[in-house]
């Protein structure tokens, strides 16, 4: 049913966008294609990412009307408009995770919720959230006393996000080298913000607001910032500890199937360039099998 809806929506939006494209071309009186084709650079490992819920790239280029609502609503300003020199169709929204990742600060995938054309397809998030709430309700009134349904819904919605998959560069990763980290991960001049996962409010509750990363200091004997700040948690990434035959211990961030490709790990990684980057639009199997 969901697939059928998606197809119908895509067809409608295709017709709508085609009409807009035709009108624009007539207006400028030139044979220039209004919607530029996304040119994928096979040699560029750090492709720019589409916002959460983006439909298949070809359909996205027709469905997105470049209205900018997703850009405006994102509380951490993760979403930007592609400029004329960027490797995406001009004027469409994208995320550069190294500069500012989607840390799910909005708590409800607001970019997709606000998209008027389903270029960012929200139904999948809504369905996941409702299903999670129903599961809580079925546990009865006693269970409900200890569960925050909003929190359950938010977690479920985050988990169905698929922007890409994180990939580790073992050659440069500090943890693999047995090194720690101390200080602000991206330095004093970095402008990105992050809602921290490993730092809590004084009463132990989760921090709900994103803060400038340059104000957040970390002390780690073995660097594990990508692991502890991941908004998804241990279903997405863990720090794997291995005891070697000689008794020494080695570490490695281990990306798991729950990775959404949100890019927080890429943004916070203190090495330059980042030792963990998002492979845009890829599945876990494509990256790790
Ligand atoms: S889901 Fe992420 S990118 Fe979209 S509005 Fe929320 S924080 Fe921004
Ligand atoms: S809200 Fe939807 S249609 Fe508007 S720019 Fe974003 S993706 Fe495109
Ligand atoms: S490992 Fe975590 S922080 Fe990194 S992209 Fe995946 S979900 Fe996001």
Task: For residues 162 and 52, give the distance between their C-alpha atoms in angstroms, rounded to a whole number.
Answer: 7
Residue spans of beta strands (DSSP E) within 46-205: 79-81, 93-95, 164-168, 181-183, 193-194
Neighbours of 112 (CB within 10 A): 25
Q: Are 158 and 235 in contact (CB under 8 A)?
A: no
- Encode pLDDT of 104-137 as tens digits: 999 999 999 999 999 999 999 999 999 998 988 8
| Helix/strand/coil for 258 | coil
| Beta-bridge partner residues of 212 | 193
Query: Ligand 3 centre from 224 Cα, in Å?
Result: 12
What does the pLDDT read at residue 33? Answer: 33
Residue 30 pLDDT class (50, 70, 90 cuts): very low
Q: How far is the CA of 77 from the centre of ligand 2 (A)?
A: 14
Q: Are 55 and 62 in contact (CB under 8 A)?
A: no
Percent of the chain at pLDDT above 90? Answer: 68
- Tell me the three state secondary structure of residue 259: coil
Q: Ligand 1: which of 73, 106, 231 to mutate, judged by most atoms within 8 Å of the beta carbon?
A: 106
The closest residue, in CA terms, to atom 4 on ligand 1 is 111
Euclidean distance between CA atoms 208 and 197, whole angstroms: 9
Q: Which residue has the tokens 């000689």?
A: 246
Indicate whether 31 pLDDT > 70.
no
pLDDT band at 16 (very low <50, low <70, confident <90, very high): very low
pLDDT tens, position by position, 230-242: 999 999 999 999 9
Neighbours of 85 (CB within 10 A): 6
Is the per-residue pLDDT at 288 higher than 60?
yes
Task: Give the residue among 65, 106, 123 at the shortest CA–CA distance from 231.
Answer: 106
- Predicted confidence at residue 116, as pLDDT, reads 97
| Number of other residues whose CB lies within 10 A of the CB of residue 7 | 11
What count of other Cβ atoms lies within 10 Å of the Cβ of residue 63? 25
What mean pLDDT is predicted for residues 76-86? 89
Tokens, residue 191: 């402008």
Instruction: Answer whether 192's CB lies under 8 Å from 267's CB.
Output: yes
> Residues 6 or more apart from 272 whose CB is under 8 A from it?
none
Mutate to test the pocket of ligand 1, among 78, 209, 278 (most ligand atoms within 8 A of CB): 78
Distance 92 CA to ligand 3 centre (A): 23
276 CA to centre of own chain: 14
Answer whether 224's CB lies under 8 Å from 174's CB.
no
pTM of the full structure: 0.84
Percentage of the residues of the chain whose pLDDT score is greater than 70: 83
* Cβ neighbourhood burial of 224 (10 Å; 0-12, 13-18, 19+): buried
Q: What is the mean pLDDT of residues 236-257?
A: 97
Average pLDDT, the chain: 85
Cβ–ligand 1 contact at 60 (below 6 Å) = no
């Amino acid at each position: 049913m969901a697939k059928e809806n998606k197809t119908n929506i895509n067809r409608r939006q295709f017709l709508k966008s085609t009409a807009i494209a035709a009108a624009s071309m007539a207006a400028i009186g030139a044979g220039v294609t209004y919607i530029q084709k996304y040119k994928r650079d096979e040699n560029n490992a750090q492709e720019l990412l589409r916002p959460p819920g983006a439909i298949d790239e070809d359909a996205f280029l027709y469905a997105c009307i470049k209205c900018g609502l997703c850009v405006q609503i994102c509380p951490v300003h993760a979403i930007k408009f592609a400029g004329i020199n960027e490797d995406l169709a001009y004027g469409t929204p994208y995320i550069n995770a190294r500069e500012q990742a989607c840390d799910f600060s909005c708590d409800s995938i607001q970019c997709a919720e606000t998209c008027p054309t389903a270029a960012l397809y929200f139904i999948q998030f809504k369905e996941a959230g409702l299903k999670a709430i129903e599961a809580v309700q079925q546990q009865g009134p006693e269970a409900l006393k200890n569960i925050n349904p909003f929190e359950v819904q938010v977690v479920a919605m985050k988990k169905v996000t698929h922007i890409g998959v994180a990939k580790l560069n073992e050659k440069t990763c500090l943890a693999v080298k047995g090194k720690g980290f101390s200080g602000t991960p991206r330095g004093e001049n970095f402008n990105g913000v992050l809602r921290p996962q490993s730092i809590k409010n004084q009463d132990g509750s989760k921090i709900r607001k994103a803060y400038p990363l340059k104000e957040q200091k970390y002390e780690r004997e073995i660097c594990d910032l990508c692991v502890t700040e991941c908004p998804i948690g241990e279903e997405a990434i863990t720090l794997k500890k291995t005891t070697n035959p000689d008794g020494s211990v080695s570490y490695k961030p281990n990306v798991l199937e729950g990775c959404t490709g949100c890019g927080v790990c890429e943004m916070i990684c203190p090495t330059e360039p980042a030792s963990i980057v998002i492979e845009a639009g890829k599945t876990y199997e494509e990256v790790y099998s």
